[in-house]
Amino acid sequence: MLFIVSTPIGNLEDITFRAVNTLQSVDLIAAEDTRHTRKLTRHYQIRTPLTSYFEHNKIQKAAYLIRLMTEGKKVALVTDAGTPGISDPGYRLVKLAYDNGIPVTVVPGPCALIAALSLSGLPSHEFIFQGFLPVKSAARRKKLELLKNETRTVIFYESPHRIVKVLEDLIAVLNDPPVVCAREITKKFEEVLRGTASDILETFKKKKPKGEFVLLVSFLKK
Ligand code: SAM
């Protein structure tokens, strides 16, 4: 059986009883970065062996994990933070498990996009998640162009190295929309910046962006 287990996005206490029990009871934990997940397993005294399952070994490792589960072993899939499969390598293993007739279940929990949306104060009855925008400026602007007629709140994951460029693109392509920048959610330096894209850009000109970001854009016309 494959258990898809959500883990904290910052604060180690954000884990469910069922997640801890599952990680304790499976035969193997497949983790994106075993060093990262070891901090969590140590904290909860979970002694289950860990193996790495990440972007660059996913094909060989998936075959190995599928073989183990076909033999009756229980495997938990975790990623560095949040819900496996959401902008991380998780989903391929889930698909392969289904393709091989292996039962799959989920142990739901934290997810950065949902945490950011509830924290944002933006309309949340309808929203779309765009994951990471393209790295190259031309491709990024092209993607943003497609949002010109959008009315739903749009959620992006972004890195601190690119967030300034993305805000500049939002100003140029989408006419300086209202945005929320949720930074380091559940961590010591959690911060929610609200305003137009140019307001947030001003803030980042004074103080260099650091940490993990979720960027939300509101398209609701007043
Ligand atoms: N699977 C994860 C989830 O459920 O949210 C997301 C994985 S994705 C590789 C990592 C991105 O999620 C980061 O670059 C950042 O945009 C966002 N993220 C993760 N943790 C965060 C946090 N504590 N605060 C803000 N953003 C976070």
Concatenated DSSP letters for 23-45?
HHHSSEEEES-HHHHHHHHHHTT
Average pLDDT over residues 15-28: 98
Report the mean per-residue pLDDT for the chain: 95
Q: Which atom of ligand 1 is nearest to the CA of 81?
A: 2
Nearest to 88 by CA among 160, 23, 37: 37
For the chain, give percent helix, strand, coil, nearest 5.
35, 25, 40
Q: Cβ of 92: how many Cβ atoms within 10 Å? A: 14
DSSP 6: -
CATH of domain 2-107: 3.40.1010.10
Residue 55 confidence (pLDDT) = 80
State the pLDDT confidence band at 222, using cuts at 50, 70 and 90. Answer: low
Pocket test for ligand 1, best of 6, 184, 213 (most atoms within 8 A of CB): 213
Question: What pLDDT is recorded for position 26?
Answer: 98
| 94 in Cβ contact with 101 (< 8 Å) | no
- pLDDT at position 58: 80
Side chain identity at 10, as an amino acid letter? G
User: What is the per-residue pLDDT for 22?
Assistant: 98
Nearest CA to ligand 1 atom 11: 157
Question: Can you give the residue ranges of every domain in the chain?
Answer: 2-107, 112-217
DSSP bridge pairs for 178: 196
- So what's the pLDDT on residue 199? 97
- Gap between the Cα atoms of 29 and 147, Å rounded: 39
Q: Map residue 194 onto helix, strand or coil.
A: strand
Q: Which atom of ligand 1 is nearest to the CA of 85?
A: 1
As a whole number, mean pLDDT of residues 188-196 equals: 97
Question: Over the stretch 103-151, which tens digit does the pLDDT of each residue have?
Answer: 999 999 999 999 999 999 999 999 999 999 999 999 999 999 999 999 9
Amino acid identity, position 72: G
Across 3-19, average pLDDT: 98
CA of 97 to the centre of ligand 1 (A): 25
How far does residue 185's CA lie from ligand 1's centre (Å)? 9
- CA of 71 from ligand 1 middle (Å) equals 34
Pairing of strands 28-31, 104-107: unpaired
Q: Which CATH number fits domain 112-217: 3.30.950.10, 3.40.50.300, 1.20.210.10, 3.30.360.10?
A: 3.30.950.10
Q: Which residues contact 77 (CB under 8 A, 6 or more apart)?
A: 2, 3, 4, 5, 30, 53, 84, 90, 93, 94
SS3 72: coil
Q: Worst-scoring range by mean pLDDT, 17-26, 35-44, 51-60, 135-144?
A: 51-60
Statement: residue 74 has pLDDT above 90: yes
Predicted local distance difference test score (pLDDT) of residue 91:
86
* pLDDT class of 221 with cuts at 50, 70, 90: low
Q: Rounded to a whole number, what is the distance in angstroms from the first to the last CA of the chain?
A: 49
Q: If you measure from the C-alpha of residue 86 to the centroid of ligand 1, how many angstroms do you get, rounded to a whole number?
A: 9
Number of other CB atoms surrounding residue 91 within 10 Å: 14
Ligand 1 pocket, Cβ-based, cut-off 6 angstroms: 9-10, 79, 81-83, 86-88, 111-113, 157-159, 182, 184-187, 212-214
Taking only the tens place, the pLDDT of each residue in 77-97 is: 999 999 999 998 888 899 999
Judge whether residue 71 has pLDDT over 90: yes
Instruction: Identify which of 2, 23, 22, 4 has the alpha carbon closest to the alpha carbon of residue 74.
Output: 2
